[in-house]
Amino acid sequence: MSNFNPSHPTKQLLAGYCAIILGGFGVHKFILGYAPEGFIMLVISVVGGSFTYGIALLIMVLVGLIEGMIYLNKPPEEFVNTYFVNKQGWF
């Protein structure tokens, strides 16, 4: 646990709540430092949503909701190991 930073539990809560509320736009990915994954979600939501009448946006919102629940249900140590040490970008 040498990589534990006191801001990690705060990022866990912030990323979890943002994933539930704004998950379709990938805001939670940017909070965790995963910019490429955040841009992928943003582009799929905006561009894909405009071509599919919002279906792609709905799918990204569901992905964000699932990721938000995962973030909030993990213990802080496991969250840090998964998303900051091992750099797991999706789920």
Residues 76-89: pLDDT tens digits?
889 888 888 888 87
Q: Which domain holds residue 45?
A: 22-78
* Domain presence at residue 39: yes
* Domain presence at residue 5: no
* Domain presence at residue 66: yes
The per-residue pLDDT for range 15-70, each reduced to its tens digit, is 999 999 998 999 999 999 999 999 999 999 999 989 999 899 999 999 999 999 99
* Number of compact structural domains in the chain: 1
What is residue 10's predicted lDDT score, i.e. its pLDDT?
85
What is residue 83's predicted lDDT score, i.e. its pLDDT?
87
What is residue 85's predicted lDDT score, i.e. its pLDDT?
87
* Domain presence at residue 42: yes
Render the burial of 53-69: b for 16+ CB within 10 Å, e for the rest.
eeebbebbbebbeebbe
pTM of the model: 0.84
* Domain presence at residue 88: no
* Domain presence at residue 70: yes
What is residue 90's predicted lDDT score, i.e. its pLDDT?
80
